[in-house]
Amino acid sequence: MNAPYIELNAEKGTFIVGGCDDVHLSATEFAVIWLLLKGDMAIGETIMSWKKSREAGFENNWLDRLSGSSRFTYEDSLCDDVTKCMSDTRKKIRKHFSLKAFVDALVPKRNRAPSFPKGKIKFKGADPFSDIRGYPK
């Protein structure tokens, strides 16, 4: 698989392809793909728990937007929120010329795990969800 390198930057909430091209994702979309590529299969619950435990005063704009979002607020709509965010993320990734062929590998359908090569993914910055999920930063 000749996949491009991608970087997810938790400090800025950016998804960079090939070192320079940004896939413009909303805060909720970025959170979903961050957690998905980190291997979290309880994405909705993780984001909702994070929002409930979040302390005021973060300086990261994307985290403020995520905290203020109406998505991932109510337990009975978590599945719909995840489905909608994943669908929107897939659409945006599909529009990127370097990632068009890798949409299913990055954001698979039907609760499958991503198959994008792990060696081509770089996570930058402290994981904002590590306290909730308990996995390494």
43 belongs to a structural domain: yes
88 belongs to a structural domain: yes
90-117 tens-digit pLDDT: 999 999 989 999 999 999 987 789 999 9
Crossing angle between the packed helical segments 27-38 and 61-68, to the nearest 10 degrees:
100
Q: How confident is the model at residue 55 (pLDDT cuts 50, 70, 90)?
A: low
1 belongs to a structural domain: no
28 belongs to a structural domain: yes
19-53 tens-digit pLDDT: 888 899 999 999 999 999 999 889 999 999 999 88
Residues 6+ apart with CB under 8 A from 94: 100, 103
In the chain, how many domains are there?
Answer: 1
Instruction: Supply the range of the domain harboring residue 29.
Output: 6-133
Mean pLDDT for the stretch of residues 46-71: 82
- Tracing tokens 């991503």 back to the chain, one arrives at 114
Q: Which amino acid is at 36?
A: L
